[in-house]
Structure 1
């Protein structure tokens, strides 16, 4: 028997719907919540046995009602620079664990830096960026490092065959004006301008591609607990062209689970001395894959398989290889080697 319901804020959004379906598949009871009463009502109509609770980020009382009785809160409503702190505050008041799908570096940094002590005092975990961008790359880094306690350099490359962004992705990009960070000389530093480009040899079918430096929230998580003087993240050119083109449509479902045809590769190289270790995943639909990642993390925390409290990242809290292996071969194929 599950210990209690899970409040999903932004439950009617593109990623939020995948998360609700994943919770139901695993036997959890989601509480559907969000700012838009009309969209929320439409989702409740599709899940008549579930409760919907409208809540605005500028209305703490409504957020308290939205998370009341929940053992955990999953925030899938961006931009997280706007929603993260109000929803996390409500989770803390309710004594509920908090998880979100943010790719925004500053939003993740805020959770770690501002809420660690308060989450410890509340006896809860606050975990940002448990999604394709953020936790997946960080877990791959930890899987590649294995028994290494430090590294000389870490390079992360994301390869997408295309990127049809959601409306939420576009709005976040328009409102997020914070500079991006990489790790250089052992500390967070602003990405050089213009961003660096280089060649990267992905596994088939992508092969060799030009990639551009594009660090996201994985950098902030890795910098907190991995001893390494240099951590860089890149993305290949095709999805960046799609993202910049306002005519690129939103994702279109092509299977019964609502996934698009988009494919991805995340390829991580960790170097120490003359040895390079590599960890790679290949899969489908960057939005859909975020659902099993965040629900698996929530499930492990709520059911007590991990006991740490405070603001924590997925790579800090979980055994990376075991966590990733528990999800393969669906939703992705995992390879780790030297």
Structure 2
């Protein structure tokens, strides 16, 4: 398995570099790839791994290169622009695809490409990091507890800081609004529109619904028609967030988006290793069948989001290197089972009960 060929595209980004370093530490020899040869060179020289610079719009070159690869871990955002070209190149080349996106539209697009991937015999599995392994696995475990569920609510509480890529993804959502699933369809709602009090695992906190990827992926994993996802937020901050609804038209303009993202590049750095080691994440879920009056709560604790992304991506990669099943689109829990999150360093077992 260690001799199989892996490409990490976007290896010089904050999270891509963490994944590359851990892959090398485990004895793998990944191809470090990305759009900039200048940014790839220092990491390539330090790790002693080959580097390959190529733009995603060079489709023929990309496909030709990918024919020699068994798995691609795609780490170069914004995934709303980069995921589909890489997925299409992987389908054409016969290479398994995974990425670390949290962008809902990427999950939706991958889902529409299921039959193409199946015909090619390759797996498309976006979201093999903190977005969305912990919440997706918890959703799948809860669904086993109440298979007839009508409502699923998920959430997480974390002290983790943002990487530049995650901060930019958050900026993109400012001009769109929140999102929930109602009766099987995704609905856009206002920022701060839905709130509730949740005990994620360390006491009750005021929480706000956010447009997290599980609004798409948890539906693909469970077929539960009503889904919401929450994070803790102070009531004061929630009120400020709600005020942004009047300016969503402005916040979606490209020049405003670019200006905010430039500020991120100048000011946001990913957390250090010491900082990450201090940070834990509490993941919570509630599943209900309102017609039968059934309700259960699930919880799992994980390491910080970036360590989950590193170890989760490599766990899925290792699964795919030995994969003999059908191709197509998969969520992490549909591909590897809900136990995947429990197997990651720093994770607890999933606990489901009534409280």
Preserved CA contact (<8 Å) 1:144 1:336: no
Structure 1 equivalent of residue 329 of structure 2 = 311
> Structure 1's 150 and 227: CA in aligned 2 closer, same or farther, altered over 3 A?
farther
Where 2:313 maps in the other structure, the secondary structure is helix
> 2:141 corresponds to which residue?
143
Structure 1 gap segments, 5+ residues each:
none
User: 2:299 and 2:151 mapped to 1: Cα distance?
Assistant: 17
CA contact under 8 A between 1:180 and 1:215: conserved in structure 2?
A: yes
Residue 100 (structure 1) shift: 0.7
1:100 aligned partner: 99
Map 1:1-338 → 2, pairs under 5 A: 1-2=1-2, 4-48=4-48, 50-64=49-63, 66-113=65-112, 115-146=113-144, 148-161=146-159, 163-175=160-172, 177-178=175-176, 180-192=178-190, 194-204=192-202, 207-237=203-233, 249-255=268-274, 259=276, 261-272=278-289, 273-304=292-323, 307-321=325-339, 323-327=340-344, 330-338=345-353
Distance between the aligned counterparts of 1:301 and 1:281, measured in 2? 25
Report the 3-state secondary structure (helix = DSSP H, G, I; strand = E; otherwise coil) of the residue aligned with 2:180: strand
Which digits, 9 at most, give the CA deviation of each residue in 1:120-153, with x for residues without a partner? 1111001111111223211111112225433121
Quick one: distance in 2 between partners of 1:324 and 1:43? 29
Distance in 1, matches of 2:221 and 2:338, equals 14
Q: Quick one: structure 1 residues 133 and 160, their matched pair in 2 at CA, closer, same or farther if it must change by over 3 Å?
A: same
* Inter-partner Cα distance in structure 1 for 2:92 and 2:148: 37
Secondary structure of 1:282's counterpart equals strand
CA RMSD of aligned residues (A): 2.5
Q: Write the deviation string for residues 53-76 of structure 1: whole angstroms up to 9, x where unpaired.
A: 001122224423553411011101
TM-score normalised per structure 2: 0.83
The CA deviation at 1:9 is 0.6
Please state how far the C-alpha of 1:267 moved relative to its aligned partner: 0.9
How far did residue 234 of structure 1 move? 0.6
> What is the distance in 2 between the residues matched to 1:201 and 1:311?
33
- Partners of 1:110 and 1:184 in 2: how far apart? 19
Q: How far is the alpha carbon of 1:30 from its aligned partner?
A: 1.0
Flag the 1:252–1:102 CA change in 2: closer, same or farther, 3 A.
closer
2:314, 2:63 → 1: CA distance? 22
8 A contact 2:279–2:304 mirrored in 1: yes
Distance 1:209 1:302 in 2: 41
Q: Is the 1:15–1:288 Cα contact (8 Å) retained in structure 2?
A: no
Structure 1, residues 106-133: CA drift from partner, whole Å, max 9, x if none?
11111111x2111111110011111112
Cα separation, partners in 2 of 1:313 and 1:58, compared to 1, 3 Å: same
SS at match of 2:33: strand
Name the one with the larger helix percent: 2
Structure 2, unaligned stretches of length 5 or more?
A: 242-259
Q: Displacement, 1:193?
A: 5.3
